[in-house]
Structures are given as structure tokens and as C-alpha cells.
Homo-oligomer: A and B are copies of this chain.
Amino acid sequence: MAKYWSKLVESLDPYVPGEQPQDQQYIKLNTNESPYPPPPAVAQVLKSFDADRLRRYPDPQSGQLVQALADYHDLDPRQVFVGNGSDEVLAHAFQAFFKQDEAILFPDISYSFYPVYCNLYQIAFETVALDDDFRIDFDGFRRANGGIILPNPNAPTGIALNLAEIREMLADNPESVVIIDEAYVDFGAESARSLIAEFENLLVVQTYSKSRNLAGLRLGFALGNENLIEALQRVKNSFNSYPIDSLTSAIGLAALADETYFQDCNRRVIESRERLSGALGELGFEVFPSSANFVFTRHRQCAAETLYLELKKAGILVRYFSKPRIDDCLRITIGTEAECEKLIEALKTILG
């Protein structure tokens, strides 16, 4: 153990995000960012924001933003929690709800930050294997647990559960918190937020990073029963009183107001996804049914790692996971229409 490190630090196995080359020479289809710019209101905030406001601390409760998110999602402000990206919200949620006697459950193929949080907070976990079609094994979750977390749609598969399935899982686990991580929900899945009034064990987590085109802003939020939100507040207020800076708050508020732009971007991503899925199929790829802003796919002949490396040489970054069960797959973010065409052209060349 390195001198001065706590035992905990030595035992950590940190998360590794997708490559973020700072030269921006690549067509970046590897971290599920939006291919479209943030709504025009964001540039307006930048132009009109009074820099002098930055000398003051922000509102520690981010009250205006929380109220706007509550209004948008038809909830009470006491049912909304905001954080520095949904990763921070998830981290606090693991500490607030999942430090239990029983192990928590999540799918074996899922967001790879979940086991990292478990390590950080010394939370026991068990994984439930997806079936051979990469679908969530519903029955596998019917066992004693200290909590459940699921992305919906799942990542990196893109496959969604429907609301009836989520309702059943919530009803099956009245003693556990069930977190539905909806980072990609706006691209074709159904949000579980409509179940919040009915299930006090439900926490829904969303982000501005994907469907709101603002990954660089670092803004995420949780929706749930006010008892759960209070627990998140207690953790947050024991960690950092002011996680949301004044500019982020103002931009988050402005971006939420442009519903037409939001819907339009998401519709375009969905249309591109369907077109790309078809084109990949014609090139011999198996494409899993995606409800997200990416596709998960494997080629019937060519190794995924080879494709990843060849695409990188051709100036296109996609995500390859060197992990059991999925090391024959690629996760490809939906780019602009033009980027998707370039990807297909590059793949045609590589596959000869």
C-alpha cells in the first residue's frame, strides 16, 4: 500500500470513462453525447449572465432549478434532488440507501460505475446475469436484497424494460429502494416517474448529459418520494453544501424551457438510430433493439476489437469493452446524420 493512503484507497478500482481526446480530431461516437448543440437559450444565458453574481455562493438548495424540474415532472420540489452530474447523484444514492445488511442487485452487464460505487462505500453486491439476448432476467431479481439498481434503457445494451415490468419489480421489493437510472430514457423508453406517487421505494435518476445536450455542464437529478430525497440531502449536506454552481443552475433552468427543441433533437436521434441499425444489419452486424442514443452491435465475422482499432485509425471513436460476454460487441453513439454516413462508409472499407 502506498504510504499515507487509507486501506480503502488501495482497494479501489476506479471507473474509466470513454476516451476524451482533447484535440477533437475524431468523429466521437464513444461517450453517448448528443450530436446536436444545446438549445439556443444556453448561449443567451452565457451572453446575459452577470459575472458579478459569481462572487456569491450559489443557493445551496438550487431552489429555482429544483422548482422548475418539479414543475416539469409534475412533482413537488421536495421530490427533486439535483447533483453535479447523475454520477454524483448515484454516488450519494448508494451511500444513502444501499449500505444495508443484504447485498444489492444489478445486472451483470450494466453501467460499470455501479460496482465502483460499491467498492467506494463497501457495499456488498450480487449481479444478475442478462439472458443470451442481453435482456434483463426478471426472475433473477426475485431474491432477498438490500436494494436494486437498473438502467432503463440498460447500458451498454440499449434494451428497455416497460413500465409494467418496473411496476412489478417495485411491488415485489417493498422493503428495498429500487433505483431506475434513466440516463437514456428520452430516446424511446418510458420513464418510471409516473410511479413515484404509488411507490415510496422508487428513485428515478436522470441527467442533462444526453437528451439535454449538456454533458459539459455536469447536471443530473433524482426524482422520488420526499423521504428518499431527504436522505440524499443529508448525504449531500455532509459532503458539499453547494454542488451546483450559479451558471450551471441558470443554464439548466433555461435549457428546460425549450421543449420543442428537446423533442426535435430526440426525434432526430431516434430516426438516425433506426436508419443506422438498418445499415449495420446490411453489413452483417447483429444490432440489439435500442431505445437509447447508441446501438450495441456485433459483427458476425469480424472481431469487435479489430473494428474498434480500425475505426480509430479512420478517425472514428466508438466504445469497445474488453469484458466477458461483451468483448465481441461495440457500443456506437448516434452521431449526426453525416457522421452516421461516414461511419457506414468506413465500416464498408474495413469489412472490404
Contact = CB atoms under 8 A, between A and B. Distances in A.
A324 interface: no
Nearest to A203: B4
Nearest to A201: B4
A216 B239 contact: no
A248 B247 CA distance: 9
Interface class of chain A by DSSP: loop
Interface string A187-210: 000000000000011000000010
Nearest to A35: B55
Given A55-B214, A87-B241, A234 B14 contact: yes
Given A6-B95, A99-B6, A242-B218, A37 B55 contact: yes
Contacts of A117: 238-239
Interface string A19-60: 010100000100101111110001100110101111111111
Interface residues of A, number: 86
A212 to B, nearest CB: 9
Interface stretch (A74-82, A224-232, A307-315): A224-232
Contacts of A54: 38, 42, 213-217, 251
B9 A240 contact: no
A100 interface: yes
A22 B63 contact: yes
Contacts of A47: 46-47
A180 to B, nearest CB: 15
A316 interface: no
A100 B91 CA distance: 22
Nearest to A215: B57
B99 A8 contact: yes
Contact of A6 (B20, B53, B96, B213): B96
A98 B17 CA distance: 27
Contacts of A235: 9, 12, 120
Given A22-B63, A234-B9, A245-B248, A3 B227 contact: yes
B56 A28 contact: yes
A46 B51 contact: yes
Contacts of A116: 238
B4 A177 contact: yes
A341 interface: no
B20 A59 contact: yes
A339 interface: no
A15 interface: yes
Interface string A299-330: 00000000000000000000000000000000
A215 B57 CA distance: 5
A291 interface: no
A87 B239 CA distance: 7
Contact of A245 (B4, B13, B31, B217): B217
